[in-house]
Chain A
Amino acid sequence: MNDMAGFDDPLLIAEGWKSEGRDVALATVIETWGSAPRPVGSHLVIDGEGNFHGSVSGGCVEGAVITEAMDVIGSGSARMLEFGVADETAWRVGLSCGGRIRVYVEKVD
């Protein structure tokens, strides 16, 4: 179950940022394998300047997700990212816990 309606809820923050006129992208954990640090459904919200809130991995891959999110804000098209030990050389980031995650990044508009 997701945490609901807390003031630090990334979905509430996404709405707030949009109302301030910021560009916003939303990253969501779609699938996990092994010991992934954040459950399916977790969100990271990113604005056009690279400000972010929430987490999809507890800190391991947020940097890479933010970079991708800036591209998604620019292009407007969603993309699917995959992180894990097996992809370490490709992404140069990985999950130290040994798990794998798939993250969907989309623009809010």
Chain B
Amino acid sequence: MRLEILKQLNDAKRARRAAILVTDLAIGEDRLALEGDTLAGVSPETLTRAFLSGKSGLVEEEGRSLFLNVHVPPPRIVVIGAVHISQALAAMAPAAGFDLEIIDPRTAFATPERFAGVKLTADWPEDVLKDAPLDAFTALVAVTHDPKIDDYPLVSALKTGCFYIGALGSRKTHAKRVERLKEAGCTDAQIARISAPIGLDIGASTPGEIAVAILGDIIQALRKRVIGAGV
């Protein structure tokens, strides 16, 4: 492996970008594809399938045996709001392979007793996200109902291109939110990416069911994302 390629791969990993190292085993040649790139001699479908599944393995392309080592950042979920739904979501997310953290400045909600074993920060999202910014492999779930808390991380997620952005609230609440986000400089196309009402439409009613609907929505957004368009 060329040192230059190794450095590029490590840079992509540090930046939490998806990358595939393609090695031609017969001649030992290696090349790197970042998500959205094309490579000569490898069909776009093959690259897309590998980025979506995250699975490494051998493929035959144009008579050559290629090894694809797929490096996809561990997807994470940032939840704004230490509410009942967040408790259920925090219990389920690790089982589906997601790192999860919760941010809520309201110390009455963000108590360690209610969120044992969960990464929880009782601070304003604008302060927390300064040190740990959102990225393309982060899902943003805003569930406080409070514009003072939810709006900043929503705008930040839209501008970053998070693979999933969901916001809790009725259609009426969301309509008001859309107006505020427009004033904050978000485009219609960006705002249309917000899943609101949040979660898959499975008729969820309890906090646990809503958490399932949100998690399903997040998985769908991750596994069915359009390669080369944003994430």
Contacts and interface: CB of A to CB of B under 8 A. Distances in A.
A9 B69 CA distance: 14
B70 A108 contact: no
A88 to B, nearest CB: 24
Contacts of A107: 1
B75 to A, nearest CB: 9
A80 B16 contact: no
Contacts of B36: none
Interface stretch (A23-31, A54-62, A63-71, A89-97): A23-31
A11 B67 contact: no
Contacts, number: 66
A80 B23 CA distance: 13
B214 interface: no
Interface residues of A, number: 26
B70 A30 contact: no
A43 to B, nearest CB: 9
Most interface-central of A4, A11, A18, A41 (chain B CB within 10 A): A4
B28 A78 contact: yes
Top 3 nearest A-B pairs (CB, nearest first) are A41-B56, A1-B54, A5-B13
Interface of A: 1-5, 9, 11-12, 14-15, 18, 26, 28, 30-31, 39-41, 77-78, 80, 104, 106-109
